[in-house]
Structure 1
Amino acid sequence: MKTTNLKVSKIANATALAVAILFGCTVCHAQEAPSGAVQMAERSKSLWDMVSAGGPMVYPILLCSFVLLLVVFERTLSLRRRRVVPRLFVERFLLQIGEGGLEKSEALDRCDSNESSIARVFTAAVRKWGKPAVEVEQAVLDEGERVANELHRYLRVINGVSTVCPLLGLLGTVSGMMQSFDVIANSSAMGRTELLAGGIGSALLSTAAGLSVAIPALIFYLYFVGRVDTLVMEVDRRGQEIVHLISAEGLEDRRNRPRGNSKQKKAA
């Protein structure tokens, strides 16, 4: 019986010692890594918590970012080359007209079957088939101007987002700093630096949110402006080519060219 009690007491002592060691290790680990726990707590903050901490000006900035995404997606699809100046259609169309393979009615049907912007310019030019070059060129310029306006559509929205978002962020910064100064002015808050830091943090979040939306918006705006300028120049160049092909002067020149070549061959 005594032997049994002795064994039980040894087991109990060993268990207590193990629990004490485990508890001590846990406490030491918790004391050695408090910063890690704080970091994990900070990382566990959701995006909504950060937005809420940024103040009320963050919400219109988020709305601007949503509008920016929609406009960028729409302009990316609309400003593709095959939607504006499809290379294969343009080269075949101009080649067939230059070789006399298309008449006015056939050229109009070919343009109507294509939904690109350059097809509209070609349609306006073909309707003036055989007219003086001045009339054909004026038709091309008028339709080209309408196409250019459509290509520039919504770019002002992107520019507006890049301009307004920093101002919204600045307004949030000013309001956050005003709250911080109110905290300082409150006598009961003297010595509580965490309250002052909270107001400054909200102000900085608002500024960061505004710049995070404005900088990409400005980059997209500059990219799309350059893209539109390139496409407009291409439309203008192709429009001038068709003017030389279907105007009265161009048709007359094509009629006289084979005769001149045959005369030169006979003389040779």
Structure 2
Amino acid sequence: MKLGIIGLGRMGGNMLKRLREGGHEVVGFDVSPDSERDVDSLDALVSALDAPRIVWVMVPAGEPTDQIITSLGGLLEEGDLVIDGGNTRYTDDQRHAAELAERGIHFLDVGVSGGVWGKERGYALMAGGEREDYERALPIFETLKPAGVDGLVLAGPVGGGHFAKMVHNGIEYGMMQAFGEGFETMMRSSLIDSPAEVMTSWRQGSVVQSWLLDLFARAAASDPTLHEMPPVANESGEAKWMVEAALELGVPTPATASALWARQTSRGGGDDTLRVVSSLRAQFGGHVTKG
């Protein structure tokens, strides 16, 4: 197929390469002139595609995606299809779809997981939208996903793809937090000689074996204590959105919430809170905390 991709960063650029290796004709655009872009403007990208067009958007969520969707609404024609593969919030998808529908432009939201390894391993894809649009883009999805029967799903209507990816990332937060807590517990015990070696041994035969554990083993191979890695973990927003959505749906999510709070605290967000706790302990009980 022929399509355009907007956003050629770590994800978008690798997706473009995988699609080309799969035989698709891809026109790439990025705002950075240092990227491997084929055209230097949205107008040029749209002009390079034959109607009905397919344009895949891979830019940061929020204002950047809003701007691109609005611009495409003024450039594309009735029957064209826009696919948002970024980490957009699912409620924004519904707004974008309605905005484009006024001009007869179709819309799919696709949650994409695979990171920098996706070019070789393939990407897990979670789509939201009309089945007709999903079927139209299916050859693209089939090339991007891993070889085999899994890795691709039409999750539901518009918003469903990014809702599924949001939940996926919340689960990912919890899994990484659990691995981290287990590692630290073993690090503090005199009964374990090498926590990294123990966790690496779980890659085969264990019920917790996973790609995340494979990645841990890769990181620990050159730094078994991980002390070269700063103890700071940013959060990209999806776990926060999942906790908010779960609260609205009446679903308790203590594991995801705990992992989210841990990441926020790692950035110093809990320092003032702990200062208050330490001060109050000193006031009522004479407890003095030493640094």
- The normalised TM-score by structure 2 is 0.24
Greater relative contact order (Cα < 8 A, sep 6+):
1
Query: Whose helix proportion is higher, 1 or 2?
Result: 1
TM-score, length-scaled by structure 1: 0.25
Counting strand residues as a fraction of each chain, which structure ranks higher?
Answer: 2
Looking at CA atoms only, which structure, 1 or 2, has the larger radius of gyration? 1
